[in-house]
Structure formats: structure tokens, C-alpha cells
Amino acid sequence: MRHRSLLILTSVLTTGALTLTACGSRDEGKGGGGDNAGGTTTVVIGVDAPLTGSLSALGQGIKNSVDLAAKTANKNKEVPGITFKVEALDDQAVPASGQANATKLVGNKDVVGVVGPLNSGVSQQMQGVFAAAGLAQVSPANTNPSLSQGDNWGKGEFKRPFKTYFRTAATDVVQGKFAAQYLFKDAGKKKVFVVDDKQTYGAGLAAIFSDEFKRLGGQVVGTDHVTVKETDFSSTADKVKASGADSVYFGGQYPEGGLLSDQIKKTGAKVPVMGGDGIYDPAFISASGEANDGDLATSIGYPVEKLDTAKKFIADYNAGGYKDPYAAYGGYSYDAGWAIIQAVKAAVAANNGKLPTDARAKVTEALGKVSFDGVTGKVSFDEYGDTTNKQLTVYKVEGGKWVDVKSDTFNQ
């Protein structure tokens, strides 16, 4: 008896679910044509970022900033006859989810460009999918050099692997070297302990940093690795103390970085922890308690709050009523979204005011040539799809807040 009722319940649920799905697809069919009564064409800008999980603070900021770019374009009628819509998918910082999302975005023929993802490791799995479909991708946050310059960039062989890949973030080569130069020259540290989280971003950044630090004459007194999502690093912290290092460089993200810094300070070793843009987040400070004054992070660009070009962005963002802050990549995400909008504008202008039938190819082509003054400065891409904007800033924790201490344009 009980089994039969269970069977009936399951069938009813399944039927219900199927009916609902069918409804959903029918609705989509109606709206999917693109043209509506106003005579405008709707194009979709895809977003892929970690919207849940421990990196969601950054992901939500990316999503909202792109949303703001689309809304601004719609309001100003930036591209006459085109209405922009944003479709945001959650990759949870997992490469396989990113790849599934890429496939989904490629499948939606209204998508003309994608902003994202946050993580370099996720991007590796998405690039191929986008390239096969000719769909342009602009990452606001990927910093691993191989994504745009090929696997052998370290040996000086630069080869762009995917012509659909662009980014508004400067690479780790720039960031790691900048960090090493600051730590050695400006902060006067000579003995560093290097820790990374074994991920594409973290390990790559730590390696670039180490090479430059050694080249300058500094000493790497020890190395270790931590595992993402682990929380107990006290053994690693004690190794740092025992090594007698005067500073620590961490390649990785803020959830692990914050705890590592905290646990190092608890051993009694009063040394600053430095990292890349992955730890440049308020959550790094809250994760590491109160004792982390003096910790350092590099991040791309000049501090958004100090740029005149960003004033309007910040005001609009605050007026937009978004629940989460724009976080570390908000400005770059807005610029990435705006670059796609500008590319659509160029493609439409070249096609007598209508969206070309091969919109994806035309947008990709136009993206390589965009040039405008964005939130973060001049936005344009070089022959590898990398940003031409090589400005960087070092931030320091002071009184529980990130304070910028040095901004500069990087040149070898």
C-alpha cells in the first residue's frame, strides 16, 4: 500500500514538473524572437561568475555592475533599436560548472557577448566553448597570463590561443612583478615565505612573484601550499615562524588568505602577508580578525573611489539599489559590459542600424577595436585581447580597512 502511494506521489510530481517545464519553454518561445512591439531588438549579455559560495561577494558585484551597464545603455539609448538584457549564471567558482554555463550561453542565440568569469581556472574550461561558437568573452578578473598569451608565455613565445577571449584585468605577470618590486624596494623585505593554494591563479601568481623577488636579490626562505576550503593552517603558520621570514607572499583567494594571515599572527610572528587581487577584499580583513594591520595586496588599476571617471559609476551603483557592494571587480565588470555594448554599437552602425545576422562574429571583431574612457581608465585591447591599461595599486590594511599606499603604471 505504502509503496503504491509513493509511486502515485512520484508520478504526480514528475507530471507536474514536466508541465511546468513545458510552460516555461512556451513562454520563452514567445519572447525569444527578439522583436517586440516597440520595434527594438533585444540582445543578451551573458554573465558567468560565482554567485553563491565563498566567492559570491565578488561574483554578485560583477553581475550587478554588468546589469548597471546594460540599464545605463538602455536608458541612454546607447545603441538605437537595441535593448540590452543580462542573463547571469552561477559557476560557484567550479570549472565544470563554468563549462556547462558556457554551453548554455552559446545555446541562447540572443547572447552576443559574455562577461566573466572571475576565476582563471574556470576560464580555461570556458574559452574553448566560446571560441567554437565565435562568441566573445570579456573577463573582468582573470589574471593568468596563459589565457591570452598561450601556455608558453613564460618562455617568451606569445601566441593568442582564442581570438574570442578579451579581458579588462591586467595579468599576473604585471601584478606579481609589481608586488615583488614593492615588497623588496619600498617595504625593504628580504626574506619571504611563499604560500599558494595550488590553483591556476594562486600558483601562477606565486611563481611569478618568487622569480621576480629572487631576481631583485631577495631570498625565498620557504614554500608551502594550502588546500582550498580547508580552514586549519596552523601547521603552515608554525613553519613560517620557524623559517624566520620577514614577510609572507600568498597566492590565492581571501577565504584561505584571511585565515592564513590570522593563524600566522597568532603564532607570534609579526610579519606582513602580501597577496594579489584575490585577497583584496573586505572579507580578507574580517576573516583575519583584528591583528592584520600591515598586510598588503596588489590590485589592478587605480582605486576606483579616487578616479574621477568612476564617480558616476559609484553614484549610479548606489542609486541602483543593489543588495551587494560592487566589490573589487565592479569597475572592470562595468567596463567589460560597456565594451560589449560598444562593440554591438559598432556592429549595428556598420549594418545600417540593424543587428547583423552574424552578430557574434561582428561583435568579436569590433571588440578588438573598441576604445573608450571607462570607469577604470582607457579601455582597449591589445593583439592578445589583454587590456592596454597597466595601472596597478598596492593596498595596505590599516585600522581594519584597505588603504591605497602606492599607485603606478607598470613598465617591466
- Residues that bind another protein in the complex, under the rule CB under 8 A: 52-54, 56-57, 60, 195, 198, 223-227, 229-236, 238-239, 241-242, 255, 258-259, 262, 266-268, 283, 286-290
Cβ 236 to another protein shortest distance, Å: 5
Cβ 256 to another protein shortest distance, Å: 10
On whether the CB atoms of residues 392 and 178 are closer than 8 A, the answer is: yes
Judged by beta carbon, residue 283 or residue 346, the one nearer another protein is: 283
Cβ 383 to another protein shortest distance, Å: 36
Judged by beta carbon, residue 19 or residue 227, the one nearer another protein is: 227
Query: Rounded to an integer, what distance in angstroms lies between the CA atom of residue 252 and that of residue 275?
Result: 7
Judged by beta carbon, residue 141 or residue 355, the one nearer another protein is: 141
Strands 296-300 and 391-398: antiparallel
Cβ 364 to another protein shortest distance, Å: 34
On whether the CB atoms of residues 212 and 180 are closer than 8 A, the answer is: yes
Judged by beta carbon, residue 2 or residue 30, the one nearer another protein is: 2
Quote the radius of gyration of the chain (alpha carbons, Å): 23
Determine the 3-state secondary structure of 275 from DSSP. Answer: strand
Judged by beta carbon, residue 61 or residue 276, the one nearer another protein is: 61
Cβ 195 to another protein shortest distance, Å: 8
Cβ 53 to another protein shortest distance, Å: 7
C-alpha cell at position 351? 549594418
C-alpha cell at position 83? 535593448
Phi/psi at 61 (5° precision): -60, -40
Judged by beta carbon, residue 218 or residue 255, the one nearer another protein is: 255
Cβ 57 to another protein shortest distance, Å: 5
- Residue position matching grid coordinates 546594460: 70
- Residue position matching grid coordinates 548606489: 318
Q: Running DSSP on this structure, what letter comes out for residue 245? A: -
Judged by beta carbon, residue 312 or residue 401, the one nearer another protein is: 401
Judged by beta carbon, residue 224 or residue 365, the one nearer another protein is: 224
Cβ 327 to another protein shortest distance, Å: 11
Determine the 3-state secondary structure of 367 from DSSP. Answer: helix
Cβ 242 to another protein shortest distance, Å: 5
C-alpha cell at position 268? 607570534
Query: Rounded to an integer, what distance in angstroms lies between the CA atom of residue 88 and that of residue 135?
Result: 16
On whether the CB atoms of residues 50 and 119 are closer than 8 A, the answer is: yes
Judged by beta carbon, residue 258 or residue 377, the one nearer another protein is: 258
Cβ 282 to another protein shortest distance, Å: 10
Using alpha carbons, list the distances in angstroms from residue 138 to 233, 256, 341: 35, 27, 12
Cβ 277 to another protein shortest distance, Å: 17
Using alpha carbons, list the distances in angstroms from residue 330 to 190, 313, 334: 34, 9, 6
Judged by beta carbon, residue 233 or residue 313, the one nearer another protein is: 233
Judged by beta carbon, residue 34 or residue 325, the one nearer another protein is: 325
On whether the CB atoms of residues 49 and 116 are closer than 8 A, the answer is: yes
Q: What is the DSSP string of 199-227?
A: SHHHHHHHHHHHHHHHHHT-EEEEEEE--
